[in-house]
Amino acid sequence: MIKNLKITVLIIFGLSALFFNGCEDSSDEAVIPFVTFDITLIDVKSSGNSDLSQPELVRFVTSSEGVMVNSKTNSLDFFGISGTGLTMGTNSITLTDGADSEASSIDVSVDNSVIAAAVTNGACSKGELYLIDATSKTKYGPYELGYNPDAVDIAVDNQYVVVVNEFDYEDGLDGGCDSIGYPSVSIYDISSGLGSATLVKNIPITHMVEGVFAEPEGVKIAPDGKTVFMTLQETSEIGWFDITNPPDTLVDRMAFSSRDHQPDGIWVNDAQTLICTAGEIDGQIGITLLDGSGNAPMTQYYANLASDLPAEWDWDDINKGIEPEEILIVDKDEQTFAMTTLQDAGAVVVYEITDPANPVYDSGAITELNNYTLEEGGVSSGEPEGLHYKDGFILVANTKDPSIALLKASWVD
């Protein structure tokens, strides 16, 4: 009897040990579930009559407030955001009333405290930078920029604002001022306050490729707060420099293997291991690893949009037949997504790029005021450009509708 009891107890303890060891093993080998972005439209609202409204870029100010830069009225137009929709026209700030001025670029600081906006004054006059306190809506400036500023970015620590100045040579030639300057990068230190911004340097971009100036289009200050990356569209390059030791002229640059890439938007991931670019001409998302000497851009991959876009969307598999514009990178758990607006298709698309060498199409959505795919023979007319992400929500600016769209990722539900 006692012998049988001992055997029974030993069996129970043995089975218990196996059970607990099995639990520990499965815990140690736990796999984070695969997540799809599955972008879906929540709301799209008109931003006004097309004679008075043309939203170029759009940003979240907070989770409940957004702002668009309106190139028709040279203003920053604010709107409300909820989980279910948009409320347009909540506030507005006029940047300038210059006859030849056009407000075209905007950025909001990571801590939601500062708004920076760039204004161009035509091909032959220098542009202007305006800084706005995001809470009080107080405007400061203007601060002088280079010719034809095209994009602006605020460093993560709010010390610097960087603006790339395109200096469109063809426009300058038409205006008789083609010899007055070069494309350039303007660096402002704003650490002493928005009303006391100081110019650190204006860096000329003097090199040419096959007789063409390297006109900068997009700019992004990396998460380290030091490295500035920019797209050089006409020459199909990425340029970069150290903001704490800016060069007299731009030196560091990498040519894209796709010579027709001609990128517009640019983004750096949080880990600062890769860059994504929106190839306006070749219709591809460029995925470039920062695996060169000193973490410089080197290894290149591409996501070819024409291989994946829905047939019912309005686009052509030719150069400039898709036109990716702004781009951004979203990190979710152990996965990485790239997202870009498509001007010709009137849409936004998402790719899963956790393995940069093998980008996978995830999802897409029409962002225009009217979904042309629901009409027989419908054509795109919204021309989306601006794009921003915050906490699972996405904003898109449709320049020609004109309108603002609010979308969401799958993990919002």
Residues 6+ apart with CB under 8 A from 158: 109, 111, 113, 114, 190, 191
**Cα–Cα distance, 263 to 134 (Å, whole number):** 30
The domain covering 53-211 belongs, at the CATH homologous superfamily level, to YVTN repeat-like/Quinoprotein amine dehydrogenase (2.130.10.10)
User: What's the confidence (pLDDT) of residue 32?
Assistant: 56
Among 148, 146, 137, CA closest to 67: 137
> In residues, how long is the chain?
413
Distance CA 262, CA 92 (A): 34
Q: Is the peptide bond before 324 cis (omega within 30 degrees of 0)?
A: no
Low-confidence ranges of the chain (pLDDT < 70): 1-33, 172
Query: How does pLDDT run across 282-326, given as a tens digit for each residue?
Result: 999 999 999 999 999 999 999 999 999 999 999 999 999 999 999
pLDDT value at residue 413: 79
Residue 131, classed as helix, strand or coil, is strand
Instruction: Determine the pLDDT at residue 123.
Output: 83
Decide if 223 contacts 180 (C-beta within 8 A): no
Query: What tokens were used for 314?
Result: 């309005």
Per-residue pLDDT at 170: 75
Distance CA 50, CA 249 (A): 40
Ranges of each domain in the chain? 53-211, 256-413
Those residues with Cβ within 8 angstroms of residue 397's Cβ, 6 or more apart along the chain or in another chain: 55, 56, 57, 58, 68, 384, 385, 386, 387, 404
CA distance 116 to 106: 6
> In CATH terms, are 53-211 and 256-413 the same topology?
yes
For domain 256-413, the question of CATH label 2.60.40.1180 is answered with: no
pTM of the full predicted structure?
A: 0.91
